[in-house]
Structure 1
């Protein structure tokens, strides 16, 4: 079939128009006729939409079609919908960031400069420095959410929820069979208690390679994003290679902080991370 210059122009024109449409609008347009279906289902169209709406640069090669990655990012799903749904109370999307390297610094302290731990046990670095080093991270786009979960040590329906979780996952996580069949699960990296009044519950996930980047330094400018003293609403910030959360706390007797990670199989890459803070 010979395609006329007019057809070429129309196709290019509609691909440009598609760059201004959200996912729902793209699907609606694709359903109007076979011609629009072919154009709107182009992987390049969904790649542009995904990167635009997540506000991240191109991560390079991905294992799934971009329309599936878009759906996994924007269909309202989060990790507690798949497991522990009975404990889940509320959540909010923070945003997306990139792991460019394969090492992450997890920290409950958001005061610069953060020191990268030596090759010590995770429990020791958590006790001494309030942070830990996590290797073999799956590079690419990560999506971060802030979760509010019922205290895991009680089953009271009246519980208001005393645990917050910074929950980050690789964009491909929900599309993997190992995750969906339950063979991938979270392992506890370590935990420790702060047995005194805590002013706030904070947590951050940083790409080691970009720890000193200017964009990452925005997280340490707490005045620009952390709530004022009497503001009890959770706050969060995401940069190109890091994410952090903070919630100011009222009078308390301390918090327990737990670090968890999920691997893609026993020796696989890390594909999900959680930092949880629970009131004691």
Structure 2
């Protein structure tokens, strides 16, 4: 609308540096460097209200909220449902050995750049339980370029299950976190493990989220239950492509 007012504004609105500035400002992230698509398209994809369940499984979707944006500098991500304390990490090889025991997952070949994180509330889309008519919380993160990619829109890129983990006891909360492994020990990342600073009080049932420059986490306090089932999913840009989307889903047992 502004571009239609005069030739000068039309020229300004066509300048991609304007959209780059607006995108980085509104997402509150630094310049990620080279991007494939024009910034005006990236801005639209980030702020037009789209989310991953709009494109697939619409009938399962209930509600969502935008958490924010963060950066992947490295190609390795740590996915976890345990936010009680920072893990003592001595390297990727040791982390891979620890992952199954600690209910976490080490994921490689991540597409670097800006990632957008949403919290989704859905009806259990694929349930391993005999009967379930409940809902499921999903921490959903995607590379900023995902919605502009042909492979995503034509359905050739699908989510693969990386693994699952059951908590077979009363779960106080449904928590999930996605971390750039390279920045796991950063001061800003450590703020996520300070749960008292952002998680709601015990009788607060509203979901809470925390995002830093290189990580994102969510927590929802739970009422009485018999445990949780946690699933990790990832989408690659083709069979051997980079990981462009991550989901951590949690449902009550």
Aligned-residue Cα RMSD (Å) equals: 1.8
**Are the structure 2 counterparts of residues 145 and 58 from structure 1 closer, same or farther at C-alpha, using a change threshold of 3 Å?**
same
Mapping of 1:133-148 within 5 angstroms? 133-148=106-121
Structure showing the higher strand proportion among its residues: 2
Given candidates 9, 14, 19, the residue that maps to 1:41 is 14
- Name the SS for the 1:30 alignment partner: coil
1:80 match: 53
2:137 corresponds to which of 153, 160, 164: 164
Offset of 1:113 from its aligned partner?
A: 2.1
Offset of 1:112 from its aligned partner?
2.7
Q: Please, which of 202, 223, 231 is the counterpart of residue 229 of structure 1? A: 202
Instruction: State the shift of 1:130 in Å.
Output: 1.2
TM-score, normalised via structure 2 length = 0.93
Query: Could you tell me the TM-score, scaled by structure 1's length?
Result: 0.85
Q: 2: CA distance between counterparts of 1:59 and 1:121? A: 27
Q: Report the Cα distance in structure 2 between the residues aligned to 1:115 and 1:190, rounded to whole angstroms.
A: 22
Q: Please tell me whether the aligned partners of residues 196 and 253 of structure 1 are also in contact (alpha carbons under 8 angstroms).
A: yes
Rounded to whole Å, the distance in 2 between the matches of 1:253 and 1:127 is: 21
Tell me by how many angstroms 1:194 deviates.
1.0
- Return the index of the structure with the highest Cα Rg: 1
Question: Where do 1:107-256 residues align within 5 Å?
Answer: 107-116=80-89, 119=93, 125-152=98-125, 153=127, 161-256=134-229
Unaligned runs of 5+ in 2: none
2:20 counterpart SS class: helix
Give distance in 2, aligned partners of 1:238 and 1:212: 15
Partner of 1:274: 247
Aligned length: 248
Q: Aligned residue for 1:8?
A: none
Distance between the aligned counterparts of 2:218 and 2:14, measured in 1? 36
